[in-house]
Amino acid sequence: MRTLTLPTRILSEAVWTRIFEHCELRFEQRRKSFFTQMAELDSLRTQADYDTGSVSAATCWAIYSVANYFAPQEIVEVGTFIGRTALSMAQGTEDAGVIAEIHTCDASNGMELPQPLKCSLIQYPRQTSTSMLEKMRSDKHDWQIELIHLDGRLQDRDVDSLKLMSALNVVLALDDFEGIEKGALNYSSIRASGWLKSSVLIYPPERRVLERFGLQGTCTTALLVPSSLIALTNQ
């Protein structure tokens, strides 16, 4: 008998479809205020020491949806910049009924972000990922990070720290997962370390998947989802 193989490309479409479907009602309720807030964050650029790229509106909703679907309590982000993704994760978890703690650092910038309504957003301005993770580890020993968003380039010691601080079922989101951009490089560092061996790579959602859910533009966010969090259901 031949095994029924499921290519990652097909699985990726199914995973993003499931995640976006879960948030469809929220999209109707939230779209105006959510995308207005994301656009308004652009004004923080005037305070930037290093004025760089942020993420697309479609990426904001993808990150919102990942946070809303998995409902993590402890979140770490590398690459705060103007805070679109940090605040997307804040809104996504709040809408899931979770009061999350989000730790986010930026090596080159230090803008103060608007505070989310309920969850705690802890910024590490002008600090590298290595110094944020070391500070977190010195403050508390029993971290159970459930969602990691990488929108900066990991440094040498970061994978070891993240491995020690993460829950077994941690979900990882990698921005700029294309070519030899930072998402692909971070993915290689993680794979080379042997960490998250049993997690499945979910490619960024294709444009036609985004369009089906009313999202324009592109999203380059890939996910590493533990296989233990993936289950077949009858519906």
C-alpha 39/C-alpha 21 separation (Å) is: 24
Candidates 70, 90, 42, 48; CA nearest to 146 is: 70
Helix, strand or coil, per DSSP, at residue 181:
coil
CB of 90 to ligand SAM, least distance (A): 12
Q: Pick the closer one to ligand SAM by CB: 74 or 175.
A: 175
Helix, strand or coil, per DSSP, at residue 166:
strand
Helices and strands in the chain: count of H runs, count of E runs? 8, 7
CB of 89 to ligand SAM, least distance (A): 10
Within the chain, residue ranges assigned H as helices are 8-22, 24-40, 57-70, 84-95, 129-139, 158-165, 182-193, 207-212
Q: Pick the closer one to ligand SAM by CB: 86 or 225.
A: 86
CB atoms within 10 A of CB 100: 23
CB of 55 to ligand SAM, least distance (A): 5
Which residue reads 């790229």 in tokens? 53
Q: Pick the closer one to ligand SAM by CB: 51 or 94.
A: 51
Shortest-Cβ-distance residue relative to ligand SAM: 152
Cα separations in angstroms, 30 against 39, 74, 93: 14, 23, 14
Which residue reads 């090596």 in tokens? 107
Binding stretches for ligand SAM (CB under 6 A): 50, 52-55, 78-79, 81-85, 105-109, 128-129, 151-153, 155
Q: Pick the closer one to ligand SAM by CB: 78 or 165.
A: 78
Q: Pick the closer one to ligand SAM by CB: 12 or 88.
A: 88
Q: Pick the closer one to ligand SAM by CB: 110 or 226.
A: 110
CB of 211 to ligand SAM, least distance (A): 22
DSSP annotation of 138 reads H
C-alpha 60/C-alpha 86 separation (Å) is: 9
CB of 142 to ligand SAM, least distance (A): 24
CB of 223 to ligand SAM, least distance (A): 16
